[in-house]
Amino acid sequence: MVLTKYTPMMQQYLRIKAEVPDAFLFFRLGDFYEMFFDDALKASKELEITLTARGGNKEDKIPMCGVPYHSAAAYIEKLIDKGYKVALCEQTEDPKHAKGVVKREIVQMITPGTAVTTVNDRENHFLGSAVQLNGERYSIAYLDLSTGESKASVVESEDLLLQEMSLIKAKEIILPASVSEKLIGKFRDRGITSISKVEQEELFFDETLLSLLEGEEVKRGISLLLHYTTDTQKRALDHLQQTEQYEVSAYLQIDPNSKRNLELTENNRSGAKKGSLVWLLDETVTAMGSRQLKSWVERPLINQSDIKERLGLVESLKNHFFERESLRELLQNVYDLERLAGRVAFGSISPRDLVQLKKSLQQVPFIKEQLKEIPDNGLIKRADEMDACIDLADLLDAAIDDQAPITIKDGNFIKDGYSEELDQYKDASRNGKKWIAELEQKERSITGIKSLKIGYNRIFGYYIEITKANLTSLNDDRYERRQTLANAERYITPELKEKETLILEAEEKSVELEQQIFQVVREHVKQEIPRIQQLAKEISEIDVLQSFAFVSEKRHYVKPVFSKTKQLDIQEGRHPVIEKVMNMNEYVPNSCKMDKERSMLLITGPNMSGKSTFMRQIALISVMAQMGCFVPADYAELPVFDRIFTRIGAADDLVSGQSTFMVEMLEAKHALEHATDNSLILFDEIGRGTSTYDGMSLAQAIIEYVHDSIKAKTLFSTHYHELVELSSKLKRLKNIHVAAAEQDGKVVFLHKVKEGPADKSYGIHVAELAELPPSLINRANELLTLFEAEKEAGESREQMTLFDITEKTAVDESAVLKEIQELNVLEMTPMEAMNELYKLQKKAGKLLAESK
Ligand SMILES: Nc1ncnc2c1ncn2[C@@H]1O[C@H](COP(=O)(O)OP(=O)(O)OP(=O)(O)O)[C@@H](O)[C@H]1O
């Protein structure tokens, strides 16, 4: 592009735009942010705003569109939601002092992962990164810019990298410029579409932030991330907390598919939180607690003593109803400390935010006291360790007025008595105003005009107003006329103007001074950010623990115990979410026992009887126990699982275009590759997606493989009734079934799990329940009889073949003829007739073949 054909300002625009080719450049012009060229074409469509043109050159109009500065946030949010980036370009010098074009610079990049103003309080908003080390090893990290927390790890495979980034629901991923397109494609398949590449040359290394990390490798991912955030945010991010190192293997691992199957954080029909385990368990009071709870649900523990510690605290909170209720009340007044700290660092904290911070801090001593009322050393220790930041609360209490507004523009938020100088200005202004009020009274009585009033506006300042009707009573030269309105005149006096100057000066100075004081207070708070964050973490944990206690009591959950012999013994267990949706009394509880000698259960039973629900219930109870929550059962003794794998239901992977069956096989492969004898595997009707024998053979082979080589605790549901025979061959495999009863030709689901195999398939009855057309149901019944007959015939044919070899003469023509003659045709139903005919036809075919 030839720059010289453009005006100097457009040249400036193009220079800046070249720095951010992949972002919309919001170019500040007066009260608007303008976009030009392709940005304008695209933004006008995405934002549904009018596209205009600006005369660059006569033939060459420049496409342009803009959004008002004061409402820009909503437009930016819309673009970010769509996965775009926005670069904010502001005037960086006062136009009054500018020589030529006003200087402009990009002051901030807003990207899906760094947008912090519009985030949902109850969720984290993570920006992720990954740097390949060697082979399939990656240094990974993630950071929530709104709360300042970050984590880093080294993972040993690409699978784990993808798993972690899906788990945290990364809004954006930062990768080195050298990353392969293939990997980028894999992120896209998992719904992470916002991907930014960064040159790695000059890495940002803030040693204080990284000081908890061991070794250089783990620093690579987080460094890339910090480099990117500093670069895009263009400001000091003082609220960033020290990055914590974590090991994926320190938590119960549940791959993203399994997580979806189990509906831990969202239900898999609508993707909403409702209907998920988080939805059920989240009785937290604070937003930080809610985020913490979600992360506990996503990462259950595997260290038994950590799990037991949580369970112990939950137990104490559960057993102390009144203390817990008061605690919940106190927590109501605790605002989002983490996000408040974030706003302090970003410089976007308002006076009202500081009041919220103060009120939150003031609750802490009471929270500590309340915790200590419960006789539990763990809770008492936690209470003792909490730093209520009293100094900070006192400072804020002394400085900021409780009724503070949300902006600092007009002052009026610093408390009286905090600054002598400020008080003097305020006095001057108050005295002036008092003088004016007195003047009003005085002038009313002198002139005898009762409606005389003194008003104020920005243009004329203070004035005396007299309605036209009263003008006759006014001495002509008493005041100076200033303004004439339709039915009143406005006047001033020199004295009034003198006072006005005093008042306005005092007000201007006091607003300025208030703003200065605010900066000082804010800087002070900034210094204390780490303390606020520590407190936030402690309070959010208490909030999660009380939430677990609250739900456990309400829903009659029990404290699980962990088995030394790795046995699983759940008595009268329930599926927590279905039970809640259904109503406690309707749900049929079921027990489950598994141990080394009984490590695999093959579940049969009609469709809709509750096989999947039973399997999910076992997994959910285990997950809940390992996150430190009580469980829906009368008694639960559990092993500590290292991983949980589920293959449940038809999860078409439409995004990557794989068929249901392929997805099924990939998930099975994943489980077979990674499961250990400490894992839990749930396989729901594996092999269903292919032809009967094909599917059945695969199912059997998978069962044998798990039984002989993996030895993980496994629940396997199937429609292949033939598989129930396997229990005689595989010694750790046992049959169980979900019982159903038939009543008047209809199936009644009992939802009760029993030992042994199911005896009948009730598929057609279920179809009948679903009210398929009656003629179709009749036809299905006919076909069933036919197929059963065919199978029988097949079996007798096999027997016949055997027979044929030994006694060649057994099937001869006369025998078949005799069979035909003996048929009692009039007594037969059409179905029976057809079956008989079918058998005879087969025999005839055989005879003909033999006679050749
Ligand atoms: N223990 C139970 N108590 C009460 N209702 C239950 C129970 N278990 C399952 N149900 C109900 O039965 C419905 C079907 O359960 P589920 O999907 O587990 O059956 P399934 O045997 O796996 O079916 P399919 O073979 O068709 O996949 C559930 O939606 C639930 O409403």
pLDDT digits (tens, 9 = 90+) for 530-577: 999 999 999 999 999 999 999 999 999 999 999 999 999 999 999 999
pLDDT at residue 745 in the model: 65
CA distances from 85 to 24, 68, 76, 192, 714 (A): 6, 18, 9, 14, 46
Ligand 1 within 6 A of 688 CB? no
| Chain centroid, CA 379 distance in Å | 29
Q: Tens of pLDDT along 502-525?
A: 899 998 999 999 999 999 999 999
Binding site annotation covers 606? yes
Q: Which stretches of the chain drop beneath a pLDDT of 70?
A: 1-4, 56-59, 117-120, 200-206, 584, 649-659, 689-692, 745, 760-762, 792-811, 830-831, 852
CA of residue 609 to ligand 1 center, whole Å:
5
Binding site annotation covers 547? no
3-state secondary structure of 604: strand
Output the CA angle 301-540-146, nearest 5 degrees. Answer: 100
Q: For domain 126-250, which CATH number applies: 3.30.70.600, 3.30.420.110, 3.40.50.720, 2.60.40.10?
A: 3.30.420.110
- Residues 6 or more apart from 551 whose CB is under 8 A from it? 280, 281, 283, 557, 629
- Number of C-alpha atoms within 13 angstroms, CB side, residue 341? 27
d(CA 304, CA 640): 7
CA of residue 578 to ligand 1 center, whole Å:
9
- What CATH code would you report for 3-110? 3.40.1170.10
Q: Which atom of ligand 1 is nearest to the CA of 752?
A: 1
Q: Which atom of ligand 1 is nearest to the CA of 616?
A: 18
pLDDT at residue 317 in the model: 98
Residue in 462, 469, 458, 450 with CA at minimum distance from that of residue 490:
462
Classify domain 561-769 by CATH architecture.
3-Layer(aba) Sandwich (3.40)
Q: Which amino acid is at 698?
A: L
d(CA 43, CA 23): 11
- Residues 6 or more apart from 109 whose CB is under 8 A from it? 20, 23, 85, 86, 87, 88, 231, 232, 233, 234
Binding site annotation covers 44? no
Nearest CA to ligand 1 atom 25: 607
Q: Tens of pLDDT along 193-235?
A: 888 888 765 655 567 888 888 888 999 999 888 888 888 887 7
Structure-block tokens of residue 360: 């939150």
Nearest CA to ligand 1 atom 31: 578
- What CATH code would you report for 420-523? 1.10.1420.10
**Maximal C-alpha separation, the chain:** 144
Segments making up each domain of the chain, as ranges: 3-110, 126-250, 282-389+529-554, 420-523, 561-769, 774-851
Domains 126-250 and 561-769 alike in fold: no
- What CATH code would you report for 282-389+529-554? 1.10.1420.10
Ligand 1 within 6 A of 612 CB? yes
